Structure 1
Amino acid sequence: MRTTTSNLHLASLMALTAALAGCGGTTSDNNTSAPPPPPPATAPIALHFVQPTENVLEPGASEPLAANVVVNGSTAPNGTVTTFSVSPSGAAALSPVAPTTVAGVASTTLTVSSLPPSATFQVGATATSTSNTAGDSLTYYVRPAHQALQVLVPAYFSATGTSSPWATLTSGAASYPDVKITAVASASDGVLTATSKADDDLLKAIKDFKAVAGTTNKVIGYVATSGSGGSRSVADVKATIDNYIRLYPDQLDGFFLDGMATDSARLAYFQDIYNYIKALASGMSKGATPPNAPTVIGNPGTYPVAAYAGVADTLVTYAGNAAAYQAIDPQPASTWVYAKDNTAQGMLVHTASTCTDMQAAVKHANRPRLNTGLVYATNLAVGASWSSLPTYWQQLLGTVDALNKQRPLPLC
């Protein structure tokens, strides 16, 4: 008997049905072995810190900390739990640890433990919506307690005459006796030899400046460590230091080393000079011990490698244009600055054209993030930056005084 095409099709369908039945497969809606439906859509969530504006704190300091939480692109519902944490856990305390959001913001208070300078720690925050979790983290740095701002004046100008900038410098010091000023006096552009002679006008100006009643102002000698022929030898630099002492006896409180390098190649050179200066006593005789040892300020003009912090009491980590200074930031490459007092850093800013520009520069230096304690700004431009005092000299002193006393800044 011949098998028809219809019969073959029927047999095939029956065999397929039997096979499906054996495997449990069926088209019935009542079969519990059917693939599960897809999970419900989860709500996207985002979280980011909105405080602090500063991530450099001092031991024992407390500050508010807040995170913004968004769900489905909108402000998170009130009561959304946000969990904060600290790593390492002993670095700081949080109160509360798991606040709930109000108007999309979760707030807590961070209190730093008694950590050593240059310590770091992290703060994290997380929030969850259905099965999605979002988080953010911050790195904090710890610096020593803030010291009052001081003024560092590159007083490379002439001392001749009653109307010289030195006279203005001295009158300003008398007007603001609470503002400590360190003036850098320059004789023969920082290169003195055995045949050099004292500048009598400069000597008198230094004495007048230091004699201002009620002040603790200093004068340090400008020393060039490089010239047109390259680096000066250690012997020549030491000779300049000795001749400053010979020509201006009992008047100098230390030295300003201009042209300091930034890499480790010349570290030994500056270490030798630093040790030589520190061996000079107050009054510049041999055999000093701290705190009477002379002050050493180095001027690399930018952030050097960290080891240079050991060859100067203060490093000028910025010397340049006021506008560019607003972008200066020691993080992340030079966070070693937080191991030192703010008085271990200085800045010299030129082309701060207006009093307002000056105040912006000084306020930037005073930020914990910059950790800079010796400041100077002038309206004079590059090429003659330090040839006189700024037109807003009195306002500069008043600005520093106001910041130190937490008072409103003087009007410009």
Structure 2
Amino acid sequence: MSLFKLRLFGKRNLNIFLSAILLVLILFYWRSPATVTTPVKILLPLYAYPTWYESKTYIWKDVVAAADKVPITAIINPNNGPDGQPPNEDYARGLKDLGQADITLLGYVYTKYGDRAIAEVKQDINLYYQHYNLDGIFLDEAASSSDKLDYYQDIYNYIKTETNLNRVIINPGTHTDERYFSQGATDTAVIFEQNSQAWTEYQPQPYAKNYPTEHFASLIHSVPDAATMKSHINRAVERHFGYIYVTDDSLTTANGDPWDSLPLYWKEEVEYVRSLNLVN
């Protein structure tokens, strides 16, 4: 083979090699969750008791530290709601600590899927408003069907007009009728609350893409490791979710509550969400 042909052969191989690299980079770019256009926020059910007197179990301080890196909305739940009274000494101390950071704080109120007396719901809301210095309300055990729309509109309007609380999140945990968003029943809905396996198969309803990402949240438990956690967050971004929380805690623990601890990979989760937001 002549020197000219050898050089030509090498040049062609180099062009093929460079083209292949370019194709890989293009594919990586389009598959990357970094193409999101709004910040990803963590919606954290902070149901652990504020044991400020025991540093090893006081996870509230870890939430405060994380809030310097990522937007966090934390839900407090003294005892299935405000427990009919102002915060005790421990909760008062914990709330003071959370208040040192830029954390959006919500108070937990259950609604029995629209069957709890509205007067009782409003009583809990009033206690949070008067004594807890929060930013909003988290309505758990929320209905998702249109027949309960009036119930949640009533509560939503009460929160917005009778208090200074400015954020309402409902938790049906499943697909939710679009009218909850279009007709003023909530600011955000948790439309997925399940385990890791169910998340891999989940798809939001088609209407979701017509609304801002901040309307939709997902809470995923029983996620075994950091690699799976990152994959699930990627899917959340791809599926048009603005709020996400992933934990390795599960329903099979001693108390059956997957929301009363932080995952072993908490710091990695915070850093991963931070990395996504830095790209935007």
Q: TM-score range by the shorter chain?
A: 0.7 to 0.9
Superposition deviation, residue 221 in structure 1: 0.4
- The equivalent of 1:393 in structure 2 is 266
* 1:201 matched to 2:90: yes
Paired residue for 2:180, among 296, 299, 308?
308
- The equivalent of 2:67 in structure 1 is 173
Superposition deviation, residue 317 in structure 1: 0.7
Q: Which amino acid aligns with 1:211?
A: Q
Moved over 6 A (4+): none
| Higher percent of residues as helix | 2
| Structure 1 residues 192 and 231: alpha-carbon distance in aligned structure 2, compared to 1, 3 A threshold | farther
- The equivalent of 1:363 in structure 2 is 234
- The equivalent of 1:182 in structure 2 is 73
Query: What aligned pairs does 1:221-240 form with structure 2 within 5 A after superposition?
Result: 221-226=107-112, 231-240=115-124
Work out the CA distance in 2 between the residues paired with 1:267 and 1:374. Answer: 23
Higher RCO structure, 1 or 2 (CA under 8 Å, sep 6+): 2
* 1:380 matched to 2:245: no
Superposition deviation, residue 189 in structure 1: 0.9
Q: Which amino acid aligns with 1:326?
A: T
Q: Secondary structure of the equivalent of 1:279?
A: helix
Contact 2:249 2:258 (C-alpha < 8 Å) held by counterparts: yes
Q: Which amino acid aligns with 2:273?
A: V
Superposition deviation, residue 243 in structure 1: 1.1
Work out the CA distance in 2 between the residues paired with 1:210 and 1:303. Answer: 33
Q: Secondary structure of the equivalent of 2:279?
A: coil
Identity of aligned residues (%): 32
Superposition deviation, residue 313 in structure 1: 0.8
Q: Secondary structure of the equivalent of 2:44?
A: strand
* 1:273 matched to 2:164: no
Superposition deviation, residue 146 in structure 1: 3.1
Query: What aligned pairs does 1:278-293 form with structure 2 within 5 A after superposition?
Result: 278-282=160-164, 284=165
Contact 2:82 2:128 (C-alpha < 8 Å) held by counterparts: no
Query: What aligned pairs does 1:138-149 form with structure 2 within 5 A after superposition?
Result: 146-149=37-40
* 1:264 matched to 2:146: yes
Query: What aligned pairs does 1:127-166 form with structure 2 within 5 A after superposition?
Result: 146-160=37-51, 161=53, 162-163=55-56, 164-166=58-60
- The equivalent of 2:17 in structure 1 is none
Superposition deviation, residue 206 in structure 1: 2.0
- The equivalent of 1:347 in structure 2 is 218
Work out the CA distance in 1 between the residues paired with 2:163 and 2:111. Answer: 22
Work out the CA distance in 2 between the residues paired with 1:172 and 1:295. Answer: 21
Work out the CA distance in 2 between the residues paired with 1:266 and 1:173. Answer: 35
Superposition deviation, residue 384 in structure 1: 2.1
Q: Which amino acid aligns with 1:320?
A: Q
Superposition deviation, residue 327 in structure 1: 1.1
Work out the CA distance in 1 between the residues paired with 2:250 and 2:174. Answer: 19
Superposition deviation, residue 281 in structure 1: 4.7
Work out the CA distance in 2 between the residues paired with 1:207 and 1:280. Answer: 24
Q: Which amino acid aligns with 1:169?
A: V
- The equivalent of 1:22 in structure 2 is none
Q: Secondary structure of the equivalent of 1:315?
A: strand
- The equivalent of 2:106 in structure 1 is 220
Q: Which amino acid aligns with 2:42?
A: V
Work out the CA distance in 2 between the residues paired with 1:191 and 1:253. Answer: 15
Q: TM-score, normalised by structure 2?
A: 0.80
Work out the CA distance in 2 between the residues paired with 1:402 and 1:336. Answer: 28
**Structure number with bigger Rg:** 1
- The equivalent of 1:84 in structure 2 is none
Q: Which amino acid aligns with 1:391?
A: L
Contact 2:86 2:127 (C-alpha < 8 Å) held by counterparts: no
* 1:335 matched to 2:219: no
| Alpha-carbon RMSD | 1.8
Work out the CA distance in 2 between the residues paired with 1:272 and 1:374. Answer: 24
Q: How many pairs are equivalent? A: 236
Work out the CA distance in 2 between the residues paired with 1:314 and 1:376. Answer: 14
Contact 1:255 1:297 (C-alpha < 8 Å) held by counterparts: yes
Contact 1:146 1:342 (C-alpha < 8 Å) held by counterparts: no
Q: Which runs of 5+ in 1 are unaligned?
A: 1-144, 285-293, 408-412
Superposition deviation, residue 323 in structure 1: 1.7
Q: Secondary structure of the equivalent of 1:358?
A: helix
Deviations 1:282-331 (A, max 9, x none): 4x5xxxxxxxxx1000101011111112311111110010121011112x
| Higher percent of residues as strand | 1
Deviations 1:182-238 (A, max 9, x none): 000112211543xx24222222222212312xxx321110111129xx821111000
Q: Which amino acid aligns with 1:263?
A: S
Contact 1:182 1:219 (C-alpha < 8 Å) held by counterparts: yes
